[in-house]
């Protein structure tokens, strides 16, 4: 397990160095996107419309923050990750079209995303589910809020972060997926647990 500090924009070369179980901290620009934002971004691409932010080399964060309004400004109060599997239907295309290098979320993603990460050079980095206060602490500034019409959790929150982490590389760009290997092991362990409990 190695620890890396990465700055956006992140190059493909930097991504290819990373292995599952490595820990990274990201500084620079992170953009939140959930189901609706993924869908719209891909529609924009099809229609040839530019996105409000160029995502190349950036990190996309599966997150719907808790926010409050203070003196006409948005303050991000708590910003932990949401369950990533909901974005599985979009993510391979999203990585291919926008050259995003890091997807941050919780709970892992499936084989389509793993394959796209291998092909185009991206990683899935798990941030601790529920650690919303810790995430908010590393957010230095809200660069801009886009697609507000999608609602607070679904909008694009373009954030400047400093040492955002620890993020565990759970899917690397070499086809390894921790969540898949863990669940395979768990299925095997289940029989032993049954025995232990006299089932």
Partner 1 sequence: MKKPLFKLDEQVYEGVHGELTESILNVKCIRLKPNNMLLTREEKSVITSEKIEDLAVKLLKLAVTELPPDVKNALKRAYEEETSEAGKTQLQAILENVEYAEKTRTPMCQDTGTIIFYIKAGVNAKGLDLFEEALRKATQRATREVPLRPNAVNPFTQKNSGDNTGRFIPFIHWKLVPGETIELTVFPKGGGSENVCTLGMLVPGEGVKGLKRFIVDAVVKAGSKPCPPNIIGVGVGGGADISMKLAKEALLRPLDQPNPDPEIAKLEKEIYEALNTIGIGPMGLGGKITVLGVNIEYAHRHPASYPAAVAFQCWAARRATARINPDGSVEFLTHKPI
Chain contacts with partner 1 (rule: CB under 8 A): 1, 21, 23, 63-68, 77-80, 82-83, 85, 106-108, 126-134, 136-137, 151-153, 166, 168, 170, 178-179, 181-183, 185-187, 189-190, 192-194, 196-199
173 CB-near residues (< 8 Å, 6+ apart): 15, 16, 18, 117, 118, 121, 122, 123
Question: How far apart (Å, rounded) are the C-alpha atoms in residues 91 and 53?
Answer: 17
Query: Is 174 among the catalytic positions?
Result: no
Shortest distance in whole angstroms from residue 71 CB to partner 1: 15
Question: How far apart (Å, rounded) are the C-alpha atoms in residues 119 and 66?
Answer: 34
The tokens describing 159, both together, are: 């954030």
Nearer to partner 1, 1 or 48 (CB): 1
* 34, 38, 62, 106: the active-site residue: 38
Shortest distance in whole angstroms from residue 185 CB to partner 1: 5
Shortest distance in whole angstroms from residue 89 CB to partner 1: 17
How far CA 194 is from CA of 60, 69, 184, 186, in Å, comes to 40, 51, 16, 12
Nearer to partner 1, 49 or 133 (CB): 133
The tokens describing 64, both together, are: 């719907």
Nearer to partner 1, 57 or 132 (CB): 132
């Amino acid at each position: 397990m190695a620890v890396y500090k990465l700055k956006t924009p992140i190059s493909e070369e930097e991504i290819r160095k990373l292995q599952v179980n490595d820990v990274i901290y990201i500084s620079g620009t992170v953009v939140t996107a959930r189901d609706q934002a993924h869908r719209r971004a891909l529609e924009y691409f099809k229609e040839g419309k530019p996105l409000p932010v160029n995502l190349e080399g950036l990190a996309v964060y599966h997150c719907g923050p808790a926010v409050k309004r203070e003196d006409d400004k948005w303050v991000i109060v708590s910003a932990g990750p949401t369950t990533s599997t909901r974005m599985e239907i979009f993510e391979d295309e999203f990585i291919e079209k926008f050259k995003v290098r890091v997807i941050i979320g919780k709970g892992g993603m499936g084989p389509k995303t793993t394959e796209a990460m291998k092909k185009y050079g991206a990683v899935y980095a798990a941030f601790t589910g529920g650690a919303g206060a810790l995430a908010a602490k590393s957010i230095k500034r809200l660069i801009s809020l886009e697609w507000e019409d999608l609602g607070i959790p679904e909008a694009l929150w373009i954030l400047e972060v400093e040492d955002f982490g620890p993020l565990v590389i759970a899917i690397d760009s070499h086809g390894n997926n921790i969540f898949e290997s863990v669940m395979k092991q768990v299925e095997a362990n289940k029989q032993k647990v049954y025995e232990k409990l006299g089932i």
